[in-house]
Amino acid sequence: MFNRLAAWLVPSAAPDDEHAKKRFDILAQLKKAVMEVCNWYEEKNKLEFQGKRPLEEEDIGMHDLLWSIQGCLQHGLREDLTACPSAWLLLHFIKTTLTEPSNPIGQAIDEASKESSTDAGRIRYWIRHALNQSLVEPTLAVGTRISLHDGMPNLFVAGTPGIQ
């Protein structure tokens, strides 16, 4: 999953491109958060005698990891300086257009829509739920399957209409 996020975030523009620098910073923040969580997971399992324990939201680094993933999803969605970026619109589009009602991806997005009244709250809930259910990568894969020859832009590729 992180390789796909990395491929999307890796700068491919000129060195003076501010947008590319921002993408690189977001990727560096995500990598740091992942490494912190991985290191804590190893330490936590050394301290526990009952076998491997799942990570919990209160564990070291989890808060930063969740914010980093949210930052990756929101990067480049703002069309102008007055608009508020929201990855929730992309997830809602995936649910309503690309998935069947019985699909776990659509169900996770639907559950998130019921748990919060704000887009930011919904996306945070979805990130936590999708990580627990191993649905982040399949959801991103559904979003990247949309191609230009289908008449729709790829949702997760910068440079397509509406994605900066």
Each residue of 23-59: pLDDT tens digit?
Answer: 788 888 888 888 888 888 777 777 766 666 666 666 7
Which of 158, 55, 45, 70 has the alpha carbon at shortest distance from 122?
70
What is the reported pTM?
0.55
Task: Report the chain's terminal Cα–Cα distance, integer Å.
Answer: 21
Question: Residue 77: CB partners within 8 Å, gap ≥ 6?
Answer: 85, 86, 87, 89, 90, 162, 163, 164
Per residue in 110-161, pLDDT (tens digit) is 998 898 888 888 888 888 888 888 888 888 787 766 543 344 444 444 444 4
Give one DSSP letter per residue of 13-36, joined into a string.
S-TT-HHHHHHHHHHHHHHHHHHH
63, two tokens: 């808060």
Q: Which range is least confidently modeled, 1-10, 24-33, 69-78, 149-158?
A: 149-158
